[in-house]
Amino acid sequence: MHTPRRPLSVVLSLSVIISMTAYLVNAQGQSDRGRQWIAGDHHIHSRFSTGWDREQNPPAPILGGDAIYPTPMNALMARHYGLGWMVTTDHGGPNHSQVNLNQAYPELQQSRVVVPDVIQFYGMEFDTPGADHSSLIMPHTDDEAERLHSIESAYNKREPWPANPDWDTEPRMLEALRFMTTLAETPIVIAHHPSRSASAQGQYGLTAPTELRAWNDLAPNIAVGMEGAPGHQAATLNPDGSLKSVGARGAYGNHPTMGGFDQMTAVVGGFWDAMLSEGRDWWITANSDSHVHYTEGGVDFWPGEYSKTYVWAEKNHNDILDGIRHGRVFVTTGDLISELHVTAEAAGAQAHIGGMLQVPANEAVVVTIRFRDPNGNNHHGDNPTVARVDLIAGGINGPASDPATDTHADTNVIARFTEADWTVDGEFREVSYRFDALPNDHYIRVRGTNTTQLEPELDPRGEDPWSDLWFYANPIRLHVED
The domain total for the chain is 1
Q: How far apart are CA 331 and CA 131, in angstroms?
A: 24
Nearest to 344 by CA among 409, 441, 258, 205: 441
pLDDT class for 33, splitting at 50, 70, 90? Answer: low
| Residue 314 belongs to a domain | yes
281-328 tens-digit pLDDT = 999 999 999 999 999 999 999 999 999 999 999 999 999 999 999 999
- Which residues span the domain enclosing 355? 31-480
89-99 tens-digit pLDDT = 999 999 999 99
Report the pLDDT value the prediction gives residue 385, as an integer from 0 to 100.
Answer: 98
| Residue 25 belongs to a domain | no
Q: Judge whether residue 139 has pLDDT over 70.
A: yes
Q: Judge whether residue 59 has pLDDT over 50.
A: yes
* Mean pLDDT computed over 369-376: 98
| Residue 7 belongs to a domain | no
Q: Judge whether residue 9 has pLDDT over 90.
A: no
The structure's pTM equals 0.93
* Mean pLDDT computed over 174-188: 98
Q: Judge whether residue 391 has pLDDT over 80.
A: yes
pLDDT class for 2, splitting at 50, 70, 90? Answer: very low
| Residue 2 belongs to a domain | no
298 SS3 class: coil
Report the pLDDT value the prediction gives residue 44, as an integer from 0 to 100.
Answer: 98
* Mean pLDDT computed over 33-51: 96
Q: Judge whether residue 169 has pLDDT over 70.
A: yes
Pairing of strands 36-44, 85-91: parallel
Nearest to 47 by CA among 61, 59, 58, 28: 61
Which backbone phi and psi does 106 adopt, to 5 degrees?
A: -60, -35
Q: How far apart are CA 414 and CA 393, in angstroms?
A: 7
| Residue 389 belongs to a domain | yes
Residue 129, domain CATH: 3.20.20.140
| Residue 3 belongs to a domain | no
Q: Judge whether residue 1 has pLDDT over 50.
A: no
Average pLDDT value for the chain: 94
| Residue 1 belongs to a domain | no
Q: Judge whether residue 400 has pLDDT over 50.
A: yes
121 SS3 class: strand
Q: Judge whether residue 353 has pLDDT over 70.
A: yes
Q: Judge whether residue 202 has pLDDT over 50.
A: yes
Q: Judge whether residue 115 has pLDDT over 80.
A: yes
DSSP code string of 257-281:
-BTTB-HHHHSTTSHHHHHHHTT--
Least confident of 4-13, 95-104, 140-149, 210-219: 4-13
242-263 tens-digit pLDDT = 999 999 999 999 999 999 999 9
